[in-house]
Chains A and B, each alone.
Chain A
Amino acid sequence: MKRVGEVHSSNYLLAKFHDLVDWAVNSSRANSLWPMPFGTACCAIEFMATAASRFDFARFGMERQAFSPRQADVLICAGRLPFKLAPVIRRIYDQMPQPKWVISMGACASTGGIFDNYSMVQGIDTIVPVDVYVPGCPPRPEGLLYGILLLHKKIKGESLFDAVRRRDEQPLDEKGLRLSPETIDEISEPFGNSVHQFRSS
C-alpha cells in the first residue's frame, strides 16, 4: 500500500505495525464515542429521542453522555445557533481534548435553515470545523444514527502516523475567524427560497 504524508516508510514491517496500531486506536475511539450534546432547539428533542428507549444510541458505544466538554469526543450541535451563542460553542470546542469530532445535526446548524436573518449563524462550519452534516428539520433519529455510523467510518480511516490523515487542532486566525471573511460571506449567501425574502409587503 502506498502511504502518503511525512512518514515514508520503506520498511514493510513498520508499515504493518503502524496499520495495526491505527486499527486498534481507531476501533477503540470509534466504538466508544462520548458525545457532548450541544442541544439548543428542536433537534435536541430528537436527540433526546435518539438517546431514549426506542432508538438507544448506547448500542453504538455512546452510552455515556459527557455534559462536560473536557471529557467528550464528539460535539453534536443539535439545533440552530444564533450569533449570541457562537462564542459559547467555540469555547466548548476549544475545551474539548484532541481527538475531537463535530456532528452538525439539522438544517439550521448546517446552513442556517429557514432562519436567514439578522440573528442566526449561517452554518456552524463558519465557527467550528464539522465532520458530519446530518440533514433534516429535524433529522429523524435514524438519520442521526446514520450520521454517527458515518462518523465511525471516518474515524476508522484516520491515522496517528500520517500527517494528512491525522487530526490537528484548528485554531482561529489572528482576526479571530476560522475562515476568511470572503469565504464566510460566500457560504452565507441566501439560497433557494430565501433569495426572494427581501420584501416585506
Chain B
Amino acid sequence: MSKRTVEMALATPGVDAEGRPTRVPLATQEPDLGGEHLLVNIGPQHPATHGVLRLVVELDGETVVRCIPHVGYLHSGFEKLGEYRHYNQIIPLTDRTDYLSPMANNVGFALAAEKLMGIDITPRCTVLRVIACEMSRIISHMVWLGTTSIDLGAFTPFLWAFQERERIYDLQEMWTGARLTTSVTRVGGLMADIPDRFVEKLREFTQTFPKTLGEIDRVLTRNAVWVGRTQNVGALTAAEATNYSLSGPMLRASGVGYDVRKDKPYLGYETYDFDVPVGEHGDVYDRYLVRLEECYQSNRILQQAVDRLPDGPINVDDPRVILPSKTRAMSDMEAMIFHFKQVMEGVKAPVGEAYIGIENPKGELGNYLVSDGTAKPVRWRIRPPSFINLSALPKMAEGHLLSDLIAINASVDIVMGEVDR
C-alpha cells in the first residue's frame, strides 16, 4: 500500500473553498507557533512502557525534542547472585531475566556452561532444545504483538495472541510442570524428557497456529490506522542500527541480515530449512513484518524438529555432570557418592572463559562465563539484547510525535527483567 492511499484513508468529510463536499486529510501542516519546551515524565509505572521504564521527554508542542530513558527500576542483581550459585543453580535465575521466553534463556545459559566445560550434548537433547527455543520465540512474539496492538489501539489481537500463548503454556506445563518459569535445561542435558502425547500436541499446534497468524495478518497488515501509525516511524538505517549494536528483529528490520542461527549456528540450526526475514526501511512497520514472518519461520522449524526428533538419551553419560537417577542413587554406592558430590559441591568448571550468543526473540542473548576452577562462576555476564536495543530509543524518537514515541518504544520489544537484570 502506498503512502498516498493511507493519507486518503485518514481523511474526514468536509467542504472545499467553493463549498463542495470533499475529503479533508487529517494530517495537515501545523503552523510554527514556537514557545517553551516542556519536560514530561512518563513512567516508571505507565501501561505503555511495558514494565517499569521511565522516559523523560522534552516536548516542543507535541513533538519530541529529546527523550531520556531511565532504566534500572527492576535491577535485581542477577549477575551478582550468579557468583554465589553453582552452574545448575543459576538456571532458575535465567528464567526470570527474560520472562517472555524463559526456555530460550535456559538453553542459552546451558550452552555457555557446556562450552566452558567442553561437553557435547546428545542428538535428542539438541533437537529438544531447538523446539524449546522456537516455542519461546513464538510466545515472545505473541506477547509483543498483543501488547503493541493494545498500545496502538487494537484490542482484539491481544486476545488472539494470548490464546495461542495459552496453548504453548500447556505444552510447557506438560514438559516441565511450570507455565512460565520452566528451568528446562541442565548443564549437559535436560531436566526431563518430553512426556507422551507431547509430540502429537505440538504437531497439532504447528498445524493450527498459522491460521491465527493469518487472522492477525488480515486485521493489522493492511489496516489504515496500523499502517499510518507505524510506517516511517522510528526509522533507523542499516549503518545506524549497526553502530548502535542493535540485534535481532531490530537489526534485520533495518536491512542487516545477521541472524546468529544462520551466521554462527548452534544446536545444528544450519541443518534446518528456514528463511531469515530482512526489512527494508527499518521503521516500526518493518519490525512488525519481520516479527510476524519470524513466527511463520519458527513454526516451520518446529515442524521439521518434530519430524526428525531422534530417540536416545537426553543427558550426556557423565556422572560428574548429570545427577544419577534417584533409584540408582539409593541403591548404588558409587552413584550415591556422585549424587552427594554434585549436590554439595556442584560441577567444577575448568579455568577459562566462554561466550555464546544465541538468537533470542529479542536479539542476540549472550552468556559470558568466566571460571577460576571452582564450582561457581567468577563472572556471569548476560549480554542483554533489549537493553542494548533500548539504548537507541533517544535516536529513534527524535522529531516524532509523543504518540509515536509509544509506538517506537513498543517496537523495541523490551522486557524490563532483562533490561535491568
- A: residues with CB less than 8 A from B are 37-42, 44-46, 48-49, 52-54, 67, 79-80, 82, 84-85, 88, 92, 114-115, 117-120, 137-138, 140, 197-201
Query: What would be 15 A-B contacts, judged by CB atoms less than 8 Å apart?
Result: A38-B45, A40-B51, A41-B51, A46-B179, A52-B158, A54-B163, A82-B74, A84-B72, A84-B73, A85-B52, A115-B77, A140-B179, A198-B84, A199-B84, A201-B376
> Is B81 an interface residue, CB under 8 A from the partner?
yes
- Knowing that A41-B99, A52-B162, A84-B75 touch, tell me 4 more A-B residue pairs with CB under 8 angstroms: A41-B417, A53-B159, A82-B420, A88-B44
Complex partner residue of A41 from B46, B179, B416, CB under 8 angstroms:
B416
> What separation, in Å, do the CA atoms of A45 and B99 have in the docked complex?
8
When the two chains form their complex, are residues B76 and A46 in contact, meaning their CB atoms are under 8 A apart?
no
From B52, B72, B372, B376, give the contact of A40 (CB < 8 A).
B52
Given A39-B51, A42-B417, A114-B93, A119-B180 contact (CB < 8 Å): no
Smallest distance from the beta carbon of A56 to chain B beta carbons, Å?
10
What's the least CB distance linking A189 to chain B, in Å? 17
Q: Which 4 A-B pairs have the closest CB atoms?
A: A52-B162, A42-B99, A117-B77, A67-B47
A110 to B72 alpha-carbon distance, docked (Å) = 21
Number of A-B contacts (CB under 8 A): 103
CB distance from B169 to the nearest CB of A (A): 8
Is A46 a contact partner of B376 (Cβ separation < 8 A)?
no
Chain B hits for A52, CB < 8 A: 158-159, 162-163, 166
Chain B residues with Cβ below 8 Å from A46 are 179-180
Q: Say yes or no: A115 contacts B74, CB within 8 Å.
A: no
Q: How many residues of B contact A (CB 8 A)?
A: 40
Complex interface: chain B residues within 8 A of A120 (CB): 76-77
Shortest CB-to-CB span from B274 to chain A, Å, is 27
Chain B residues within an 8 Å CB radius of A114? 81, 92-93, 96
Beta-carbon nearest neighbor of B420 in chain A? A82
Q: How far is the CA of A114 from the CA of B166 in the complex (A)?
A: 26
Q: For B162, give its contact among A48, A82, A197, A201 (CB under 8 Å).
A: A48
Query: Interface digits, B56-88 against A, CB 8 Å rule (1 contact, 0 not)?
Result: 000000000000000011111100110111000
A199 to B344, CA, bound (A): 13
Which residues on B sit within 8 Å (CB–CB) of A197?
84-85
Question: B80's contact among A49, A118, A138, by CB below 8 Å, is which?
Answer: A118
What's the minimum C-beta distance from B419 to chain A, rounded to whole angstroms?
11
A199 CA / B179 CA spacing, docked (Å): 32
Q: 1/0 per residue B155-174: CB within 8 Å of A?
A: 00011001101100100000
Closest Cβ–Cβ distance, residue A197 to chain B (whole Å): 5
Q: In the complex, A201→B179 CA distance in Å?
A: 33
B100 proximal to A (CB < 8 A): yes
Q: How far is the CB of B303 from chain A (nearest CB, A)?
A: 25
Closest Cβ–Cβ distance, residue A172 to chain B (whole Å): 19
Q: Bound state CA distance, A106 and B72, in angstroms?
A: 21
Closest to A117 in B: B77
Distance, CA A67 to CA B77, complexed state (A): 28
Kindly provide the distance from the CB of B309 to the nearest chain A CB, expressed in whole angstroms: 28
Query: Closest approach, in angstroms, between the C-beta of A171 and any C-beta of chain B?
Result: 21
- Chain A residues whose CB sits within 8 angstroms of the CB of B80 once the complex forms: 117-118
Judged by a CB distance under 8 angstroms, whether B212 is at the interface is no
Specify the chain B residue showing the minimal Cβ separation from A42.
B99
Q: Is B181's beta carbon under 8 Å from chain A?
A: yes
User: What chain B residues lie within 8 Å of A92 (beta carbons)?
Assistant: 45
B75 close to A82 (CB less than 8 A): yes
Is B374 an interface residue when CB atoms closer than 8 A count as contact? Answer: yes
